[in-house]
Amino acid sequence: MVIVEKELLAGVPVLHVVKLEKRDERLPLIFFIHGFTSAKEHNLHFGYLLAEAGYRAVLPDALFHGERGQGLSERKLQLSFWDIVVRTITEIDEMKSELVNHGLADPKRIGLAGTSMGGIITFGALAVYPWVKAAVALMGCPNYSAFFDEMIEEGKRRRIDIPMPPTLLALEKEKLARYDLSKQPEKLAGRPLFIWHGKADQVVPYAYTYEFYEQIKPLYEGKEDRLQFIADPHAGHKVTRQAFLETVRWFREHV
């Protein structure tokens, strides 16, 4: 029987999904990170199937989301986007360490996945954490620099006031460099990566993801089974059932 428990992990509210009979065992671990303005509960279907497959699935609430919401306006939340991304990347490592230290996670079998903002976080974590054994990025963007610029331009088009002078914006962009996987693809080190993106996505540009896939393909020469990219010609900014099932299959094969 699969159980779902609400708890704090390294101070972060999470849903902990696992088979009851395996609750206290050392298990392979999968983190699943939700999207912008979403919450941990919205990805429970992923957690359930992963737990059914024998994994310990952990679904956290990102800063200012779900149980951590502070009633911020859409504008303030948008302006906090990259702070949320970086904070979540830090918290993933803290949560991982707590589970490993308590003997609940196998440090050699840890996977990471996410949708939209969660996919962006997944790419960023791959750039800094070699302990991620395999990853799935759904509707994410590995090119932090280009997406940062895209968001600024979109804000200007929508006449959103950005309370930062160009010099400070440049510094904020510079802080993201260490998480930009497109600038350091060698950090993948051949680790299994599954990417899914809808070609009709109007929120996170499909082009950045596809360009990155083309960029890293030569790095997987001779181990093509470790890299998969699915481009859905009809999907917008919504994960399809095919992507959902492929995510679970990917982890069953690689973690």
- Dihedral sign of CA atoms 197, 248, 253, 24 in order: positive
pLDDT tens for 194-229 read 999 999 999 999 999 999 999 999 999 999 999 999
Q: Could you tell me the pLDDT band of residue 160, with boundaries at 50, 70 and 90?
A: low
CB atoms within 10 A of CB 229: 17
State which residues form the domain around 250: 2-254
**What percentage of the chain exceeds 90 in pLDDT?**
86
pLDDT, the chain, mean: 94
3-state secondary structure at position 14: strand
111 forms bridges with which residues in the sheet? 30, 134
Spatial CB neighbours of 208, under 8 Å, sequence gap ≥ 6: 141, 142, 143, 146, 147, 182
DSSP label at residue 220: G
Alpha helices in the chain (DSSP H): 44-52, 74-79, 81-101, 117-128, 144-157, 166-175, 206-216, 241-254
**What is the mean predicted confidence (pLDDT) over 176-196?**
97
**What is the mean predicted confidence (pLDDT) over 148-165?**
76
Q: What is the pLDDT of residue 66?
A: 92
Structurally, the chain folds into a number of domains equal to: 1
**What is the mean predicted confidence (pLDDT) over 184-198?**
97
Q: How far apart are CA 115 and CA 95, in angstroms?
A: 19
Q: How far apart are CA 202 and CA 204, in angstroms?
A: 6
Q: What is the CATH number of the domain that holds 87?
A: 3.40.50.1820
Spatial CB neighbours of 35, under 8 Å, sequence gap ≥ 6: 42, 114, 115, 116, 117, 118, 119, 139
pTM of the model: 0.95
pLDDT tens for 63-89 read 999 999 998 888 888 889 999 999 999
Whether residue 162 has pLDDT greater than 80:
no
